[in-house]
Chain A
Amino acid sequence: MPDLVQYRNFFAMGTRLDLVMIGPDDKKADRVINMVKNLVEDIENFLSIHRPGSELSNLNSEAFKREVVVSEDLFNLLKQCKYYYEFTGHWFDVSLAKLTRAWMGDTTPDREVIDRLVSNTGYDKVEIDEGKMSVRYLTEDIGIDPGGFGKGVAVGRIRDLLLLEGISNSLLSFGESSVAGIGKHPHGPCWPVAVSGIFNKALRLTTIELTDSFMSTSGTGFKSGDGMFAPGNNIIDPFTGYPVDQPKTVTVVSDDPVVAEVLSTSLLINRNCIDKKTLSENCHRVVEVSCDGDRNETIIEILS
């Protein structure tokens, strides 16, 4: 008898979570997806900057005024962010929420505003006290937005939950940019995922094989409701304060979903932000897709 295929999805973290599970019956699949929903809900409750009552939102509004004692979960996450800030030579920086927001308006922000935000932000201006488990922002322009880092944390925890529930073969997609291939496809040795073109969605540039591994894709712009490319100033260079405006994606495959998220973002801004040796020690594969003015799509294997 063939394995059952179960598919569930729901809205989460401003996008959709799609989960394909091999094996469980309907009842178990429903139970598991409810557990996944609860887990993601818990993460959003402390991590989302779009929920005014979240612990992180509270930290963002208070931490410049006073030292804020935070939960162990949030503290550990902030410590991890600090680690990756150093690990990437400051290219991965989650303290740029206000700088990013400045680029979300209808008009280009003034040069002096950008300069001020660049000089007043940076994770080195986030003071973390291990002993008191407290956090303080050293400038009022600091605002923490974990972005894809949060999705990486969520994907890792969902993977642990699925394995605990005995679901050893599954594919998880978070907004199609964070993908976990757990175990393998029922009819093959891995979960094969095609990397598509930026504008030409039918163009399959390469295939990535996931086996108990994670794939994160960072890109400039968004995939809109109809799946097409929509421009956006969503990735900001922390050193210049300006967005990466070339249509481009970087896909990183790693055993660690957080590493995949951190490096896909950092490498999108600066392909050389980390040396090849370190990259190969932390990732299985890195590919960059870019597009010129004539929409010619080019793929570069940064690590293969």
Chain B
Amino acid sequence: MLGYCRVYISLNYKQDQMDNRQTRREFLQRAAIATGGLFLGSHFPDLGSLTAARGASSDTVRLGIIGVGSRGQYLFMHLNRIPGVEVVAICDDYEPNLKKGYQMSGEKAEQFEDYRALLEKKDIDGVVIATPLYLHSQMAVDALHADKHVLCEKAIAKTPEEALAMYKAQLETGKILLIGHQRMFNPRYLKAFEMIKNGQLGDVTQIKAYWHRNSDWRRAVPSPELERKINWRLYWDYSEGLMTELGSHQIQIANYIKKDFPRRIAGTGSINWWHDGREVFDNVNLVYEYPDGSTLIYDSMTSNAHYGFEEQILGSKGTMELEIGRIYSENPPPAPGIRQLVNNIEHKIFDPLPLGGKSWIPETASKNSGEYIYGEDLKDDGTFLQMEGYIQMVRENRHSDMLLREAYYASVASVLGNEAIKRGEMITWPEEFIL
């Protein structure tokens, strides 16, 4: 097995990105140490215990990509930036996608239309699955049983049953199963998690998250019979709509911060703007309740983009907005003189308090503009770091049960949100879907 030093060195590949990335890496190392994280050089937050995955480690990681549509191509682009990675096989049942993927491989990758044939290849270490949601579970389970490590796009699966099957398949095979919740690899989020863990927000009693767009969420369809194949996100047979495609990211963040998953869910949803033949809701509005009585209030809409997307973490001592990366304290900074006074009293010093002056006012009296959580303006949303992380996990042959459980609970919560909306009542998390 390769040690972390080997991996660390192998990742220092581009001098032009070196300074920036080194800074992030150093931070992540510190975070991993501070939070009891595991192996140095990783991109991970507090992962809990990593288990040794089954299989041999190798220096060069050989991958297959199942699904080379827009998301698959995006992931492919990142993989192409990582040294020591070869995408040796691609699979798609839509010819234009396959052609594009082939070009991205430098016309080297073996092409497949059936993923099962790709899985029969013995010379690939792992796969990346970027197919429509309804295909995730079967493909991932089959890949794990074919002795392949798996990175599968979020959400984990279309139903809780399928998600559970994937979780069990990982346990049975011992292979790596990582789900594409890239915020767990984003240094800004990791810093925020560390600050929350250290109590800087006090008790988190509410999380508000939203994802607003003003677009129809459609892809161009070259001929009508391809409508459902290309716009699969809009139909219940293939997708769970806004909740799995967008909401699962944000629910995952909420769960990770709460260190728990919600037990009760209620909400409403409808098609109130895009009356274009779609089936999935074009707006959803939900309340998720955690065991301690705190809540995640979630909504997503497609007819107004003014507020964009955000996760607002509301604690007794402060507030965080994770997407823009700011923290707002409930209390002002102490007056410097007062801080000195307290210190003097504790040291039995009787000394004048330097105060008498004009009124102190915040920089803007009516608005607390907060401070940056993480000073750096990141150009990556965590996707590249997640791909690096996956490669590193494959190299080190280690699986993170914590990340998989987080992904599982986030995805099941997304699907249960839709169920609560459809049933029109508050639902309780089913016992059979508690790991």
| A binding-site residues for B, Cβ under 8 Å | 2, 5, 7, 9-11, 14-16, 18, 20, 22, 50, 148, 171, 173, 175-177, 179, 185-188, 191-196, 198, 201, 204, 207-208, 215, 217-225, 227, 229, 249, 251
Contact = CB atoms under 8 A, between A and B. Distances in A.
B352 A173 contact: no
Q: 7 tightest CB-CB pairs across the interface, nearest first?
A: A219-B358, A188-B350, A16-B332, A194-B352, A195-B356, A192-B352, A175-B359
B122 interface: no
A222 B350 CA distance: 28
Contacts of B351: 192
Contact of A222 (B330, B342, B359): B359
B365 interface: yes
Contacts of B335: 9, 16, 18, 173, 176
Contact of A198 (B336, B339, B357, B368): B357
Contacts of B358: 177, 198, 217-223, 229, 249
B341 interface: yes
Given A5-B346, A15-B359, A191-B353, A171 B341 contact: yes
Main secondary structure of the interface of A (DSSP, over half): strand
A173 B355 contact: yes
Given A18-B338, A176-B337, A225 B362 contact: yes
Given A9-B334, A201-B354, A223-B360, 12 more contacts: A5-B342, A148-B359, A177-B356, A191-B353, A192-B350, A192-B351, A192-B352, A193-B356, A196-B355, A208-B356, A215-B356, A224-B363
A11 B362 contact: yes
Contacts of B336: 227
A186 B346 CA distance: 10
A207 B351 CA distance: 10
Nearest to B369: A225
Nearest to A12: B332
Given A20-B342, A192-B352, A10 B331 contact: yes
Contacts of B349: 187
B331 A225 contact: no
Given A7-B334, A188-B350, A176 B355 contact: yes
B361 interface: yes
Contact of A186 (B339, B345, B357, B363): B345
Given A15-B359, A177-B357, A251-B356, A9 B345 contact: no
A112 to B, nearest CB: 30
B223 interface: no
Highest count of chain B CB atoms <10 Å: which of A18, A179, A186, A194: A18
A116 B346 CA distance: 56
B201 to A, nearest CB: 16
B362 A227 contact: no
B348 interface: yes
B198 interface: no
Given A20-B338, A20-B341, A185-B345, A179 B356 contact: yes
Contact of A207 (B330, B352, B368): B352
Nearest to B342: A7
